[in-house]
Amino acid sequence: MLTQEPTLEMVEEWKRIWNKYEARLKPNRKSGQELLDYLIQNYALSEIHEQDAAETVCSNVMLNKPFAEKLPVGTVPQPRTFFLENTGNGEAFYKKEDRDPMSLWGRDIPRIFIGIDVVSGYFMVEGSTRLWDELCAFQGLDEMDLRNPCCVAQYIACLKRFGRLDQLDE
Q: Identify the pLDDT of residue 85.
A: 95
**pLDDT recorded at residue 65:** 93
Give backbone dihedrals phi and psi of 113, rounded to 5 degrees, phi first.
-100, 140
What is the biggest distance separating any 2 CA atoms in the chain, rounded to whole angstroms? Answer: 44
Three-state DSSP at 82 gives strand
- Distance from C-alpha of 141 to C-alpha of 27, rounded to nearest angstrom: 6
What is the model's pLDDT at position 129? 87
Helix (H, G, I), strand (E, B) or coil at 74: coil
Question: Identity (one letter) of the amino acid at 67?
Answer: F
Cβ–Cβ < 8 Å for 118, 78: yes
Overall pTM surpassing 0.85 (yes/no): yes
112-121, pLDDT tens digit by residue?
999 999 999 9
Per-residue pLDDT reduced to its tens digit, 14-39: 999 999 999 999 999 999 999 999 99
Q: What pLDDT is attached to residue 1?
A: 59
> Which segments in the chain show pLDDT lower than 50?
102-105
